[in-house]
Amino acid sequence: MNKIINLTKANTLIKVSLLCLSFLFFQFDSYSQDTEKGKKLFKANCAACHNVGTKVVVGPGLQGVGEKHDREWLEKWIKNSGELIASGDAAANEIFNEFKKSIMPPQAVSTEDIDNILAYIANPGDGGGEIIVDGPPTGEVVEEDNSVMMYLFGGAIVLLLILIITLNKTGVFVKEVIAKDAGETYEGPTTLYGNLKKLMGDNKGIVAAIVIVLFFGGLLNLVDGAFQIGVHQGYKPEQPIKFSHKIHAGDDKIDCNYCHSSARHSKTSGIPSLNVCMNCHKAIDGSDGKTFMYNGEQYSMTEEIQKIYDHLDYNPETQEYGDNPTPVKWVKIHNLPDHVYFSHQQHVVAGKQKCQTCHGPVEEMDVVEQHAPLTMKWCIECHKETAVATEGNGYYDEMHDRMTPEFKEKVLNDGVLTVDEIGGWECAKCHY
Amino acid sequence: MKRKYLNRLSKLAIVAAVISITSCQEEGGLAPEYMPDMYRSPAVEPYVDYGELRGNYSDAKYTDKMTARQSVEGTIPRGFQPYGYENTPEGYQLAGQNLKNPMAYSEDVVKDGEELYGMMCVHCHGKTGQGDGTLVERGKFPPIPTKFAPGLVKTEGEMFHTITYGKGLMGSHASQLNQEERWKLVHFIRAKFMEEVPAIDTTAAVAVVEEVVAEVVEATEEVKETEAHGH
């Protein structure tokens, strides 16, 4: 009996030592694997769903996965996780249930590839995946204080006033002394107001000239100003979330229509709802601590993206949405008067106009501003110059056929059919 | 008398000067508005700040009112077909098996699809469909696992399901693309990248041609008849 126990003990000992040895070898082996190759393979095959850290992307973060599961299990899982789950493996089913019962698609990688990938996960180095940087972003955000200038200006004015009053008093005092010395009494004005009156009375010509210049200058300014009423060209408000069009439309080359998708279907181009933001920002959470420029100031990506999450009541840790979302109060920039009808759909789809025609180089603006004056003159001028996009649009073929020969001759003699020639200047086209 | 008049005039000038200085448009700010009720719509317009309506400039009850509303529950847009597959792995499988592209394949559809691809997909999936979009190339978005290439096993239904609900890191694009547009995209991606051009159903086209030919024949016969009568 003892013998048997001893034998089993010895057996276990051998098994354990063998396991340890194999583990050692495996460890040793894994370091001899090519992490560079593994990195490439990881980027190509795994990075869409996994992070080398602890962050959950679609599937779990893979830090320490080599220790958590044995090599054989991992290979089975990677090559066909569905089969492993179906076989009733406890660990596999646990993961399956934790990640909303979605199966990791079978990966076409060789055993050697898996070794390389695991080596890379075990030792991602500094170039591996996203490294979460704690603490405030580099570059302090310094708020520019305009009020200092205002105070300085006000102070200077007050100082000047005091100076004028003192000078006036001294002047009067000096005059009085001179008069006393001459044995007379000073009878001129003593107050500042009186002195000013005297000065103006003595130089009537100059005063008249100043008044005339001021009057006509003012008139000119007034007329100029009247033309600016309701023309908000250059309106450039800061938005509650510091969304930079320069980064999204310019650098990343995301098409305007991706976010403003209703421009093709409706009167308004549409401010994208936050689910559109989340199509990218579920993955791009700014946790790499990068900063960006907005209106000449530096902002932290993490903080601005966190605002999206806050508005959505979204928890990036658990990737779950709460039930208390709040709307973002974006500031509307382009506003047409109530009595004008304008349809984005008509201009973008039928007219084939680029967004930039009216909105200017938005892809270069971090803060969007009103580029065009949006006055009626501006509309009318564009309608006079712009040719209708008739090519490939059957509607216009039919319209051309219906035109009387005289009218056709009249509008097409210059070879282009402009918008005003097909009713783009009719009052009721926009005002109804 | 004259002096008093001049006095008033100078006071008026000072007031005017003060007003004209203070009413200047701030750099990047709004211009002055005259009669804002002609400008700001009192009717419900999209994205209008209700606080800017007449008399309600500072009333939080109006300024905090949201203009973009969700439609009443159960509202169905015109031409919308309810999508019966659930956003689950089983739904994906079922859609892949049962869902077929209802849109007839044509060159025009592919052209539309190409335009849509350039708007909605290209920044991740790339011009070649190999996941080489600007966002991926710039290292902002993780690499795309799906590479559209001949031999990729993906059914029409699976593709439609993925655009509708999203899959993996890809989000749902149902709010940006209507069902028709999604099917156009499926046609384009399959034709351009996966080289899976469905056989064009020629029977309908043949029927149309036959009809036209019959009409032409009829018309010419009529003309001949009238000519014959005329002579």
Nearest neighbour of A229 by CB, restricted to B16, B33, B40: B33
CB atoms B48 and A257 under 8 Å: no
pLDDT of residue A97: 77
What amino acid is encoded at A41 in this protein? L
Is A137 within a domain? no
Any domain includes A5:
no
Q: Do residues A388 and A351 touch, judged by C-beta distance below 8 A?
A: yes
Q: Which of A354, A374, A394 is the last residue of a domain?
A: A374
* CA A330 to chain centroid: 12
Model pLDDT, residue A23: 46
Q: Per the CB < 8 Å rule, is A228 touching B31?
A: yes
Query: Is A2 contained in some domain?
Result: no
Give A301's Cβ-side CA count (13 Å radius): 17
Total number of domains constituting chain A: 4
Picking from A117, A102, A101, A95, the residue whose alpha carbon sits closest to that of residue A45 is A117
Interface of A with B in 103-122 (CB under 8 A): 103, 105
Residue from A360, A361, A330 nearest A250 by CA? A361
Instruction: Identify the domain boundary among A208, A227, A246.
Output: A227
Inter-residue contact A264 to A345 (CB < 8 Å):
yes
* Minimum-distance CB partner of A338 among B41, B89, B118: B41
pLDDT digits (tens, 9 = 90+) for A376-432: 999 999 999 999 988 888 888 888 888 888 888 888 888 888 999 888 999 999 998
Same domain, A243 and A364: yes
- Amino acid at position B36, single letter: P
Same domain, A333 and A251: yes
Lowest mean pLDDT, pick from A212-226, A266-280, A329-343, B190-204: B190-204
SS (H, E, C) chain A: CHHHHHHHHHHHHHHHHHHHHHHHHHHHHHHHCCHHHHHHHHHHHHCCCCCCCCCCCCCCCCCCHHHHCCHHHHHHHHHHHHHHHHCCCHHHHHHHHHCCCCCCCCCCCCHHHHHHHHHHHHCCCCCCCCCCCCCCCCCCCCCCCCHHHHHHHHHHHHHHHHHHHHHHHHHHHHHHHHHHHCCCCCCCCCCHHHHHHHHHHHCHHHHHHHHHHHHHHHHHHHHHHHHCCCCCCCCCCCCCCCCCHHHHHHHCCCCHHHHCHHHHCCCCCCCCCHHHHHHHHCCCCCCCCCEEEECCEEEEHHHHHHHHHHHHCEECCCCEECCCCCCCCCCCCCCCCCCCCCCHHHHHHHCCCCHHHHHCCHHHCCCCCCCCCCCHHHHHHHHHHCECCCCCCHHHHHHHHHCCHHHHHHHHCCCCCEHHHHCCCCHHHHCC
Q: Contact, B139 vs A129, CB < 8 A?
A: no
pLDDT of residue A143: 47
Contact present, A41 and A118 (Cβ < 8 Å): no
Take residue B149 and report the two structure tokens written for it.
């290439």
Cβ pair A229:B31 closer than 8 A: yes
> Same domain for A368 and A256?
yes
What six digits make up the tokens of A321?
A: 């949405």
Percent of chain A clearing pLDDT 90 (strictly above): 37
Residue A9 located in a structural domain: no
Residues A245 and A369 in one domain: yes
The alpha carbon of residue A192 is apart from the nearest alpha carbon of chain B, in Å, by 17
- Do A369 and A296 share a structural domain? yes
Q: Among residues A253, A278, A248, A244, which one has the least CA distance to residue B123?
A: A253
On whether both A351 and A246 belong to a single domain, the answer is yes
Residue B99 tokens read as 């869902």
CB contact under 8 A, B34 and A230: yes
Q: Which of residues 257-276 of A touch B (CB under 8 A)?
A: 257-258, 261, 265, 267-268, 271, 273, 275-276
Tell me if A100 is assigned to some domain. yes
Least trusted range by pLDDT, from A121-125, A329-333, A337-341, B149-153: A121-125
Same domain for A251 and A363, yes or no, is yes
Sequence-separated contacts (24+) of A258-264 with Cβ below 8 Å:
A258/B119, A258/B120, A258/B123, A258/B176, A260/A355, A261/B120, A261/B175, A261/B176, A261/B177, A262/A344, A263/A344, A263/A345, A263/A348, A263/A355, A264/A344, A264/A345, A264/A348, A264/A349
Q: The tokens of B160 are what?
A: 């439609």
pLDDT at A35 over 90: no
Phi then psi for residue A384, to 5 deg, are: -75, -35
Q: What is the pLDDT of residue A264?
A: 93
Residue in B64, B65, B119 to test binding to A, most A beta-carbons within 10 Å? B119
A135: in domain:
no
Question: What is the set of domains in chain B, with CATH numbers?
Answer: 34-63 (no CATH), 89-192 (1.10.760.10)
Q: What are the pLDDT digits (tens) for B57-87? A: 677 777 777 777 778 888 888 878 889 899 9
Strand partners, A291: A300
Together in a domain, A368 and A289:
yes
Q: Where would I find the H helices in chain B?
A: 2-22, 36-39, 60-63, 89-98, 107-120, 122-125, 134-137, 156-165, 179-192, 202-230
- The backbone torsions φ and ψ at residue A360, rounded to the nearest 5 degrees and listed phi first, read 75, -175
* Locus of tokens 């077909």: B81
Name every chain A residue with its beta carbon within 8 A of the beta carbon of B178.
265
For B131-172, what is each residue's pLDDT tens digit? 889 999 988 898 888 889 998 889 999 999 999 999 988 999
At A131-186, the pLDDT tens digits run: 333 333 444 444 456 678 889 999 999 999 999 989 988 988 898 888 888 888 77
Instruction: Give me B13's structure tokens.
Output: 């000038």
Residue A5: per-residue pLDDT: 52
Domain co-membership, A217 together with A336: no
B28 token code pair:
């990047």
Of the candidates A102, A261, A276, the beta carbon closest to that of B89 is on: A102
Which of A122, A137, A161 terminates a domain? The answer is A122
Q: For B10, phi and psi rounded to 5 degrees?
A: -65, -40
Would you place residue B6 in the very low, low, confident or very high pLDDT band (cuts 50, 70, 90)? Answer: low
| pLDDT, mean of residues A46-71 | 79
pLDDT (tens digit per residue) in A194-250: 888 888 888 889 999 999 999 999 899 888 888 888 888 999 999 999 999 999 999
Does B215 touch chain A if contact means CB atoms closer than 8 Å?
no
- Determine the average pLDDT of the residues in A306-320: 92
DSSP secondary-structure letter at B142?
P
ipTM of the predicted structure?
Answer: 0.78
Residue A63 counted as domain residue = yes
CA-angle at A198, arms to A192 and A203, nearest 5°: 130
Beta pairing partners, A300: A291
Rg (CA), chain B: 32
Taking residues A327-351, report their average pLDDT.
90
A289 near A277, Cβ under 8 Å? no
- Widest Cα–Cα separation across chain A: 144
Is A253 within a domain? yes
> Rounded CA gap, A328 and A276, in Å?
13
Residues spanned by the domain of A155:
147-227
Structure tokens at A284: 């791009």
Length, in residues, of chain B: 231
Residues A180 and A292 in one domain: no
Instruction: List the single residue in A with minimal CA-CA distance to B166.
Output: A279
Residue-wise over B195-212: b if at least 16 C-beta within 10 A, else e?
A: ebeeeeeeeeeeeeeeee
Write out pLDDT tens, residues B122-138.
999 999 999 889 999 98
Please indicate, yes or no, whether residues A361 and A405 belong to a single structural domain of this protein: no
Residues with Cβ within 8 Å of A371's Cβ and at least 6 positions away in sequence, in order, are A233, A358, A359, A360, A361, A362
Query: What is the CATH number for A18?
Result: 1.10.760.10
Helix (H) / strand (E) element for B169: namely: none
What is the largest distance, in Å, between two alpha-carbon atoms of chain B?
104
- Does A395 share its domain with A359? no
The residue in chain A having the minimum alpha-carbon distance to the alpha carbon of residue B36 is A230
Find where tokens 């004259």 sit: B2
